[in-house]
Structure 1
Amino acid sequence: MFYISEVIKGDSELDCLVSELDAFQRELYPDESNHCLNFSSVSDNKLRCVIARDKYGVPAGCGALLLQEEGFGEVKRVYIRPEYRGRKLGEQIVTSLESLALENTCHQLRLETGIHQQPAIALYRRCGYVVCEAFPPYIADPLSVFMYKNIQLTL
């Protein structure tokens, strides 16, 4: 069992998880294909972050939502520690980010991930995301996969 809570971008546990993600991605991609968001470069009102914890309160994963203009949001920094993978935690994190997006009147979520992260691509497909062309501020990159999902509040 996991529980997900929102945290501020400077949270020390979030920083630790993001550092683990950065190290993982540095092994897979050259610098020019690593499109990591530096949280300090984003204003507090444009970023929503979550941490997933196990039943003992140990951080198991994280994710972030970058709020953009015109009702768009970008899923960023989704990461699950290896020992917690395969337990549907990714789906829970993505669902949590989608709820935050709806609270912030987003109608479409987009994301960029890498071609060497097939489990992540499969996660996003299971969550209803489809492959698309690169979107601003990105340019096409042979090591990137771009995806989107239209979201709406269901009553």
Structure 2
Amino acid sequence: MMESAMDFVIQREDPYSLDAQILMDELSAMLATLSGDGGQSRFCADDVCSARGAFVLARTSQGTPLGCGAFRRFDFGVAELKRVYARPNKAGVGRALLSALEAEAVAAGYHTLVLETRAVNQRAIAFYERNGYSPIDVFPSCSDLADARCFAKTLYGIDA
């Protein structure tokens, strides 16, 4: 569990919980408005419910959900970030979620995180680039998405 000076806590939680579902539905609605696709078909909660995956939720100290994120196994030593979302106007939550996921990934034995977003999602692209993620070739599984953009970050040296 990680606590921030901004008075919120990030911890592993069940991706099937009501709060997790509400946050992921908010993310899907925002993505659908932005790109026409909410991304639900590329996420399976079972993928993040193992020792090689994780689902985390950020909450206020009073328990109000603020955001979520997950990773799943992608390849040997590589995990894929999924469903990273912070509610609007919750400064610092996205960065804290990403840090928590990176630390959890290192603890699970991963050395690299990858992700896919859409070109139209400039806010996400800028966020990941600010946090050390670099563009990579589009995943073969996303080759049918003309506007897919993929990124990666090496996690060596991150304290778990």
The TM-score, its normalising length taken from structure 1, stands at: 0.86
SS at match of 2:142: coil
C-alpha contact 2:43 2:82 (8 A) present in aligned 1: no
1:128 aligns with 2:121: no
Q: How far off its partner does 1:13 sit?
A: 0.6
Q: Distance in 2 between matches of 1:131 and 1:125?
A: 8
Q: How far off its partner does 1:101 sit?
A: 0.6
* Aligned CA distance change for structure 1 residues 139 and 7 (closer, same or farther; 3 Å): same
Q: Distance in 1 between matches of 2:105 and 2:94?
A: 16
SS at match of 1:128: coil
Structure 2: runs of 5 or more not aligned = 1-5
User: Residue 100 of structure 1 aligns to which amino acid in structure 2?
Assistant: E
Q: Distance in 2 between matches of 1:110 and 1:35?
A: 18
Q: How far off its partner does 1:69 sit?
A: 2.9
User: Residue 104 of structure 2 aligns to which amino acid in structure 1?
Assistant: L
Q: Distance in 1 between matches of 2:61 and 2:94?
A: 16
SS at match of 1:60: strand
Structure 1: runs of 5 or more not aligned = none
C-alpha contact 2:9 2:60 (8 A) present in aligned 1: yes
What residue is the counterpart of 2:75 in the other structure? Answer: 69
C-alpha contact 2:48 2:71 (8 A) present in aligned 1: no
What residue is the counterpart of 1:10 in the other structure? Answer: 16
> In percent, how many aligned pairs have the same letter?
30
SS at match of 2:138: coil
Q: Cα RMSD over matched residues?
A: 2.1
The CA deviation string for residues 121-143 of structure 1, in whole angstroms up to 9 with x for no partner, is 11111110001111243216332
* Aligned CA distance change for structure 1 residues 147 and 59 (closer, same or farther; 3 Å): same
C-alpha contact 2:73 2:80 (8 A) present in aligned 1: yes
* Aligned CA distance change for structure 1 residues 43 and 34 (closer, same or farther; 3 Å): closer
Q: Distance in 2 between matches of 1:38 and 1:147?
A: 17
Q: How far off its partner does 1:47 sit?
A: 3.0
User: Residue 20 of structure 1 aligns to which amino acid in structure 2?
Assistant: E
* Aligned CA distance change for structure 1 residues 142 and 37 (closer, same or farther; 3 Å): closer
Q: How far off its partner does 1:43 sit?
A: 6.5
Equivalenced residues, count: 152
After the TM superposition, list the runs of 4 or more consecutive aligned residues in structure 1 that deviate by more than 6 angstroms: none
Q: Distance in 2 between matches of 1:108 and 1:67?
A: 10
The TM-score, its normalising length taken from structure 2, stands at: 0.84
What residue is the counterpart of 1:39 in the other structure? Answer: 44
Q: Distance in 2 between matches of 1:104 and 1:30?
A: 34
